[in-house]
Structure 1
Amino acid sequence: MRKQTQNKISILAVCLIMVLSLLSGCSGKDSAGPAASEQPSAPPEATQQAATDSSGVPASFKAGTYQAEAEGKDGTIQVEVTLDEKQKITDIQVVSQTETAGIGDAAIQTIKEQIIAGQTLAIDAVSGASESSAAILSAVEDAVKQSGGDVAGFKSREVAKAGEGKTEQLSADVIVVGAGASGVSSAVSAADKGAKVIIIEKTATIGGASNLSWAGKFYNSSAAVSSGLKVNVEKEISDWIVNNHWRVDAAAIRQYVTKSGATYDWLNQKGYKTTFINFAGEQLHMLPAYDTRQTALKAMLAESVEKGGGQVITETTAKKLMTDSSGAVTGVVAEKADGTTLEISGKSIIMATGGYAANKEMVKEAFGFEGVNGGLGQNIGEGLKMSWDAGAKVPDNFGGQMLHQTLARATDKLKAEYQPFEASYPLMLTYLPTLMNVGSSGARFRDEAATLTAVAAANTSAFNGAYHLVIVSQSQIDALKAKGMSGIQAPGLPGMPPEFYASFAEQFKLDNPWKNADKVLDSMVKNGDGYKGSTLEELANNAGMDAAVFADAFGKYQEATRTGIDTEFGKAKDYLVPMGESGPYYAIIAEINNLGSVGGLLVNTKFQVLNEKRVPIQGLYAVGLESEGVLFNDTYVGNGVGIGYSFTSGRLGGEAAASGALQK
């Protein structure tokens, strides 16, 4: 939309009152306009000063259907908004969106319904989907602007929540806060032990991060053992403790390694069927099909919790823990979506709120990490803060994160321009050991073979800043165009999670030529997600690297490719592929994906939360990521442990909490 000067706006406002019929050609919107038959009659700048008719509708307003879009968490959300002659929003059609199923898309639907029902843009974000919520609100606001409507009026029209000022009181033996994998498991196992359970969840979705996960580790499950793959339990435990520098709870590790196998059978019996796979010698268990998981977990809750007289309450956020004069935790105060306050009293309270990885400031302060939150937006640490306020100890190793994947910043924007395979060129290159990796200064920082292992790739990068750069030369691009990844001697397919390449699995081959490779990388640069330079110096300058540092690193790397000896990092000769002697050169911005925080509450093997004296706080338990710090030193180094531990800690913690409650 072109900008108007103040004088032109004033003149236009007068013209709108006096000569309304002449103004049909005075406006337009280049980026996203209304339907062809409905052109807006005034630019949004004029709207605020336009006259209104007797019903309060701006003279600049024109009814019709308007198209608009905004960026959500996972891509662009496109809408068509229809307004009638009275400036009432009568319909909002979501033309396209790629938000997370069950989370972002549910938020879009909720916000859409609230806008129409209240005729307002003054709507709170849906818990756990703030970016999706903000995007649908922004898109509808843009459509109202295009119509010449009263945006300020829509944004000032607040709708009172029906439950504000109301308080409801409930009671149960066991209260579970959070309905992810650990929360559902604990609620179900507690109910199976005879406890009346109430589980609350701040979003409308059951399953949490497990709905996004791939596979879990259940040591020596019946399926693994019957397949012939059996882990030496004592060696696994010993190596685990040593690899974490002994700064772990050995009893907790032993409990997980020896009892997680039974969780596989327990889940299958409950209808949540996982599938064992031998993943390069590791015992992993693939979770059910993505679109069936929430249904399966809801069925588990219905069969155990609800059948036992308990409740499953969604869209309800815990606010504080209730305690008695002795310091024992006796309940939870929560708020429902309609504003109603819930006071739920209980004998055992289980915290399963998923940690704090979506709280950027908290992650930065605790761990120094500045990458991407690949987990859930609702996990901002409220559960931890409530527990700390109730006397829980902050663990000595607090701050660890589950850094587990590499991402290319370019991917999402490229998918709007290219097919998924081509749009993923930069992403795939970040997983190959035959390319040169440098930090933001231009210095090389690792043996790039670290890219072959997810945890190694993630942590070596994160230790060197918010991002790293993958350097690609023209000769390497030519080789990719001719022979695909085989052209740059990739030893195997990029080790990306299956969901990253599911949409182009048939093309995901080493020898599939990369058509348009240079064109795609040029688009990446144009979008601001990478850099290009005809010379090394120009690339360094464009990417903000120190030119001298980068030139030195590049020279040493080229020498290593010629001699086959990497004196700096010991990279294997097979991975030392020459980069050619001439440009242009590209730098791909690679970031690290944080799947979740690790720990925050110290627990014993009964999953009781401990206080500063390492003594259990009566009535308070924790499972899942918030209790996982007992397994790791300063960061997560497992593969499948996160989800495996969530289900296992939930199963065992729920039993312990039920036992504690029923004995009172």
Structure 2
Amino acid sequence: MRNRNFVKKMLMLSFCMVLIVSMLSGCTGNGESANSSSSSFKAGTFTGEAEGKEGIIKVEVTMDEPDKIKDIKIVSQSETGGLGDSALEKMKEQILEGQTLAVDAVSGASLSSEAMLAAVEDAVTKGGGNLEVLKAGGVKKAGEGKTEKLETDVVVVGAGASGVSAAVTAADKGAKVIIIEKTGVIGGASNLSWAGKFYNSSAATSNNLKVNVEKEIADWIVNNHWRVDAAAIRQYVTKSGETYDWLAEKGYKTSFLNFFGEQLHVLPAYETREETLRKMLSESVEQHGGQVITETTAKKLITNEAGEVTGVVAEKADGTTLEISAKSVIMATGGYAANKEMVKEAFGFEGVNGGLGQNVGEGLEMAWEAGAKVPDNFGGQMLHQTLARATQGLIAQYEPFEASYPLMLTYLPNFMNVGTSGARFRDEAATLTSVAAANTSAFNGPYHMVIVSKSQLEALQTKGMNGVHAPSLPGMPPEFYAEFTDQFTLENPWANVGKVFDSMVENGDGFKGNTIEELATNAGMDVDVFVENYNSYKEATKTGVDSEFGKAAEYLEPMGEEGPYYAIIAEINNLGSVGGLLVNTKFQVLNDKRTPVKGLFAVGLESEGVLFNDTYVGNGVGIGYSFTSGRLGGESAAKSALKAN
């Protein structure tokens, strides 16, 4: 963008110089008036592109006047299905309908929306179109200045797993329910999740896998340093099994998986989830006189003189202000992980938001303003996966298996890991457990680096991961290797591995050095620190004794004696924030005195802080708790609302 602006400035400067010369001469070279300058615009179709959230967005824009866009075709994109891709279509519609580039980003998909605008702008610029005119004004929303008032028993803010579960249960208990969602998608993060944990479900027990409930609860409390709500943990552990059957009855069928002794329940096929959740809402909420309102963003909670929450103010996509009066309000707004500043301030984390872009914390802000307490353990995050920065760039150059070479190595314990200073910071066997891998890295800065030597790359090229004595396949989530399952074996040789790693460096997503000193310099490490740590680690690979971190000898892979050496930039994926509101076992939100804020409930991630201290350490608990808290919280909210009638 900076280069393009520079070019545009130079073109403008040249144009001004031509105007000055023309004014001084009083005429143009062909005898026309000096005021009738010719335009560079040519009618036709022009290609534009921009970097989106998940990759390059490419468009074709057809123009028949310098300030008129006749058509826009989205040629290629890889944005998140059901959200990012929908946003592109909505942006296209707004641009064509209003004949303007001054349009608002789609809620929850700002990065995709901004990239779409940038791609169209790129095409218009290439065609010599009038950007100044197209950016002027903007589309006036049809509902601006209008207010619509609704009344209901229960209003649910957010239609992810917890919000849908709460709305469905509340409706089934006899309450009239309105559920609002800021995006056009139902299901939220559950549409991207893999599996949930429903303790001692009927499926688990029928497969002869049963958890000792008392031991599980006791260990959970100790592992979180007692800074949790023991009653909330007991409720989840003892009640979540019922959620499995409840979901199955509603048509949202999960399949049981004995995951190395853990009770996990794999969610339905990705492409069926939103449709199933919409059907659940239709058969419960809508059939009982309620409403499902999407593309509507909550702005403020309504309170009365006594401080009771009595509704919510929201804004619809067309600009209409919506005032919903309710006996119970349920916050299911999904946390704040997409708000970088808020995450940094609360937790110090500077990695990647792997969750949804719409989760920026406005639900918490509204609840706090209405009197909710900020929990003492506020700030926890769901750090759960390691990412290689190189993957996105490589996927445009190589097949998925080859593009994932750097990523796979970040999940193996056989390579030296260092922080940004060049100091080694852990026993790399931590990479074998997702939560341990994520949190040990995040504690040491915005990213860490995986050091790979020439001899190790040669071993990978000839013998695959067996060549570096990988103890098992990298423990990546299944969706990370879904496109190359057949190649994802320990013995499969890594063809073109050197070329791929050189491309990683060329793309700016890793570093290379012919010597360890050169690698340290190129990677911005402290040379002395890295050299000392490297030599110490290399000695450990020779003796089999890691005196600093105690890494097992079988994971101390030899580094060889010559370069080049590479450093993979490895970042941590934050799947969501954990908590922000303090709730009791009825999911009533508590104030500073730890008594309920009347009329206000919270489920899902907003209330998950009662289960964890500063960091999520569950496996499948996030989605399991979302469905369970929604089911139980919806029941409580309905009971409270109907009692007030």
Q: What do the CA deviations read for 1:362-413 (whole angstroms, capped 9, x no partner)? A: 0000000000000000000000000000000000000000000000000001
What's the CA shift for 1:569?
0.7
Residues 600 and 52 (structure 1), Cα distance of their counterparts in 2 relative to 1, 3 Å cut: farther
Residues 228 and 304 (structure 1), Cα distance of their counterparts in 2 relative to 1, 3 Å cut: same
Partners in 2 of 1:481 and 1:453 — Cα distance? 26
User: Could you say which residue in structure 1 is the equivalent of 2:222?
Assistant: 242
Partners in 2 of 1:52 and 1:598 — Cα distance? 63
Aligned match for 2:565, one of 581, 585, 607: 585
What's the CA shift for 1:73?
0.3
Matched AA of 2:235? Q
What's the CA shift for 1:85?
3.7
Matched AA of 1:90? K
| Aligned 8 A contact 1:178 1:354 in 2 | yes
Aligned match for 2:265, one of 265, 285, 299: 285
Unaligned residue ranges in structure 2 (runs of 5+): none
User: Could you say which residue in structure 2 is the equivalent of 1:89?
Assistant: 69
> Which is further off, 390-399 or 6-15?
6-15
| Aligned 8 A contact 1:175 1:197 in 2 | yes
User: Could you say which residue in structure 1 is the equivalent of 2:153?
Assistant: 173
Residues 436 and 52 (structure 1), Cα distance of their counterparts in 2 relative to 1, 3 Å cut: farther
Is structure 2 residue 5 aligned with structure 1 residue 10? no
Partners in 1 of 2:373 and 2:195 — Cα distance? 31
What's the CA shift for 1:19?
7.2
How many positions carry a matched residue from both structures? Answer: 633
Secondary structure, in 3 states, of the residue corresponding to 2:580?
coil
Residues 214 and 7 (structure 1), Cα distance of their counterparts in 2 relative to 1, 3 Å cut: closer
Secondary structure, in 3 states, of the residue corresponding to 2:481?
helix
What's the CA shift for 1:562?
1.1
Residues 219 and 20 (structure 1), Cα distance of their counterparts in 2 relative to 1, 3 Å cut: farther
Aligned match for 2:396, one of 413, 416, 437: 416
Secondary structure, in 3 states, of the residue corresponding to 2:631?
helix
User: Could you say which residue in structure 2 is the equivalent of 1:454?
Assistant: 434
Residues 18 and 619 (structure 1), Cα distance of their counterparts in 2 relative to 1, 3 Å cut: same
Q: Percent identity?
A: 74
User: Could you say which residue in structure 2 is the equivalent of 1:254?
Assistant: 234
Secondary structure, in 3 states, of the residue corresponding to 1:84?
strand
What's the CA shift for 1:7?
5.5
Partners in 2 of 1:326 and 1:51 — Cα distance? 69
Partners in 2 of 1:188 and 1:116 — Cα distance? 38
Matched AA of 1:433? P
Is structure 2 residue 496 aligned with structure 1 residue 505? no
Unaligned residue ranges in structure 1 (runs of 5+): 22-49
Secondary structure, in 3 states, of the residue corresponding to 2:548?
coil
Partners in 2 of 1:312 and 1:138 — Cα distance? 33
Taking structure 1 as the reference length, what is the TM-score of the superposition? Answer: 0.93
| Aligned 8 A contact 2:455 2:560 in 1 | yes
Matched AA of 1:455? V
Secondary structure, in 3 states, of the residue corresponding to 2:125?
helix
| Aligned 8 A contact 1:52 1:59 in 2 | no
Matched AA of 2:326? G
Q: What do the CA deviations read for 1:126-159 (whole angstroms, capped 9, x no partner)? A: 0000000000000101111111111011111312
Within 5 A, what are the aligned runs for 1:97-496? 97-496=77-476
| Aligned 8 A contact 1:63 1:87 in 2 | no
Partners in 1 of 2:387 and 2:65 — Cα distance? 47
Matched AA of 2:45? T
| Aligned 8 A contact 1:79 1:96 in 2 | yes
Is structure 2 residue 616 aligned with structure 1 residue 616? no
Taking structure 2 as the reference length, what is the TM-score of the superposition? Answer: 0.96
Secondary structure, in 3 states, of the residue corresponding to 1:135?
helix
Partners in 2 of 1:564 and 1:19 — Cα distance? 82
Residues 8 and 279 (structure 1), Cα distance of their counterparts in 2 relative to 1, 3 Å cut: same
Partners in 1 of 2:30 and 2:328 — Cα distance? 68
Q: What do the CA deviations read for 1:96-133 (whole angstroms, capped 9, x no partner)? A: 00000000000000000000000000011100000000
Partners in 2 of 1:368 and 1:301 — Cα distance? 38
> Which is further off, 78-87 or 626-635?
78-87
Secondary structure, in 3 states, of the residue corresponding to 1:663?
helix
Q: What do the CA deviations read for 1:207-228 (whole angstroms, capped 9, x no partner)? A: 0000111000000010011001
Secondary structure, in 3 states, of the residue corresponding to 2:101?
coil
Partners in 2 of 1:264 and 1:75 — Cα distance? 36
Partners in 1 of 2:240 and 2:635 — Cα distance? 14
Q: What do the CA deviations read for 1:171-195 (whole angstroms, capped 9, x no partner)? A: 1100000000000000000000000
Secondary structure, in 3 states, of the residue corresponding to 1:307?
helix
User: Could you say which residue in structure 2 is the equivalent of 1:42?
Assistant: none
Partners in 1 of 2:592 and 2:92 — Cα distance? 46
What's the CA shift for 1:440?
0.3
Residues 18 and 312 (structure 1), Cα distance of their counterparts in 2 relative to 1, 3 Å cut: farther
Aligned match for 1:74, one of 40, 54, 62: 54
| Aligned 8 A contact 2:66 2:129 in 1 | no
| Aligned 8 A contact 1:51 1:59 in 2 | no
Aligned match for 1:553, one of 530, 533, 557: 533
| Aligned 8 A contact 1:366 1:399 in 2 | yes
Partners in 1 of 2:508 and 2:44 — Cα distance? 36
Is structure 2 residue 520 aligned with structure 1 residue 540? yes
Secondary structure, in 3 states, of the residue corresponding to 1:77?
strand
Residues 126 and 6 (structure 1), Cα distance of their counterparts in 2 relative to 1, 3 Å cut: closer
Partners in 1 of 2:35 and 2:261 — Cα distance? 73
Partners in 2 of 1:167 and 1:434 — Cα distance? 62
Partners in 2 of 1:236 and 1:655 — Cα distance? 26
Secondary structure, in 3 states, of the residue corresponding to 2:440?
helix
Partners in 2 of 1:235 and 1:446 — Cα distance? 29
Partners in 2 of 1:93 and 1:52 — Cα distance? 34
Partners in 2 of 1:507 and 1:18 — Cα distance? 67
Partners in 1 of 2:36 and 2:375 — Cα distance? 61
What's the CA shift for 1:265?
0.6
Matched AA of 2:613? N
Partners in 1 of 2:28 and 2:178 — Cα distance? 64
RMSD: 1.7
Partners in 1 of 2:90 and 2:12 — Cα distance? 38
| Aligned 8 A contact 2:67 2:134 in 1 | no
